[in-house]
């Protein structure tokens, strides 16, 4: 069972931004930039391109809605998207508010207090 499935079942906590029957979006715990969010299908699958075309399209549709909410909440040049999965083998889309190339390079990290994460998740969620 992946760490993201544990989040989905409520076994471990997350800073939830959005959810529907098939997907959940929560803040990345080790963000590249403020507002870095992960969008995750509730059905655990390892690789994104092993999803059916329909499941892939619906993941993109939900990510689109989450990206709009991030864009509304945080000033940035644009919201960037990345798929990696080398650390957590459970499909997820990284949505990252970008102001500079460094924000999407997964080298620079920013830290927030628990309260800051809670407030940020709530602010994005209100715009969803």
Member of 51, 81, 88, 104 binding ligand AMP (CB under 6 A): 88
If binding is defined by CB under 6 A, does position 48 make contact with ligand AMP?
Answer: no
The piece of 24-32, 47-55, 63-71, 117-125 that touches ligand AMP (CB under 6 A) is 24-32
The torsion of the CA quartet 116, 117, 118, 122, rounded to 10 degrees, works out to 100
CA distance 47 to 24: 17
CA distance 39 to 49: 15
CA distance 36 to 14: 13
Q: Under DSSP, is residue 47 helix (H, G, I), strand (E, B) or coil?
A: coil
**Is 29 or 110 the residue whose CB approaches ligand AMP more closely?**
29
| Residue 22 CB, nearest approach to ligand AMP (Å) | 19
If binding is defined by CB under 6 A, does position 100 make contact with ligand AMP?
Answer: no
Catalytic member of 36, 90, 92, 94 = 92
CA distance 114 to 30: 12
Size of the site for ligand AMP (CB under 6 A): 11
Residues of this chain that interact with ligand AMP (CB under 6 A) are 3, 14, 28-30, 38, 84-88
């Amino acid at each position: 069972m992946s760490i993201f499935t544990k989040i989905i079942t409520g076994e471990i906590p997350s800073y939830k931004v959005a959810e529907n029957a098939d997907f959940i979006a929560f803040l990345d715990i080790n963000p590249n930039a403020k507002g870095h969010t992960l969008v995750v299908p509730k059905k655990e699958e390892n690789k994104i391109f092993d999803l059916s075309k329909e499941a892939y399209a619906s993941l993109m549709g939900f990510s689109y809605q989450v990206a709009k909410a991030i864009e509304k909440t945080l000033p940035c040049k644009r919201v960037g998207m990345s798929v990696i999965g080398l650390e957590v083998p459970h499909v997820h889309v990284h949505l990252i508010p970008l102001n500079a190339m460094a924000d999407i390079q997964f080298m620079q990290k920013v830290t927030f207090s628990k309260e800051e994460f809670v407030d940020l998740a709530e602010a994005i969620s209100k715009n969803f």
